[in-house]
Structure 1
Amino acid sequence: MSLIRVVWGSATGPTAMSSYDAALADAGVENYNLVSVSSVIPADVDVEAVGTAPDLGPAGERLTVVESRATTVGPGRVSAALAWSQSVDGGPGLFYETSGETDPENVERAVLEGLAAGQELRDWEFDEPNVVVESSDADAGTYTTALALAVYGDSEPIL
Structure 2
Amino acid sequence: MEIRIVRGSATAPTEMASYDAALAEAGVHNYNLTHVSSVVPADATVEFVDTAPDLGAIGEGLTVVEARATSAARPVSAALAWGREEDGPGLFYEAGGEEPADRTRERVERGLEAGRELRDWSFPDTDSAAAHAAPDGGFATAVVLAVYGEGRPIR
- Tell me the TM-score normalised to structure 1 length: 0.95
| Partners of 2:72 and 2:147 in 1: CA distance | 27
**Superposition RMSD on alpha carbons, in Å?**
0.8
Tell me what 1:100 maps to. 97
| Per-residue deviation, residues 2-56 of structure 1 (Å, max 9, x unmatched) | 2000000001111000000000000000000000000000002110000000000
Tell me what 1:148 maps to. 144
Tell me what 1:86 maps to. 84
> Contact 2:40–2:89 at 8 Å: present in 1 too?
yes
Q: CA deviation at 1:127?
A: 2.0
| Partners of 2:145 and 2:75 in 1: CA distance | 19
Tell me what 1:20 maps to. 19
| Pairing 1:61–2:63 present | no
Gaps of 5+ in 2: none
| Per-residue deviation, residues 100-141 of structure 1 (Å, max 9, x unmatched) | 0011111111110000000001132212210001012222x3
Tell me what 2:133 maps to. 136
Greater displacement, 118-127 / 15-24: 118-127
**What's the secondary structure of 1:121's corresponding residue?**
helix
Write out aligned runs for 1:31-50 (5 A): 31-50=30-49
- Paired AA for residue 144 in structure 1: A
Tell me what 1:122 maps to. 119
The count of residues paired between Structure 1 and Structure 2 equals 155
| Pairing 1:157–2:150 present | no
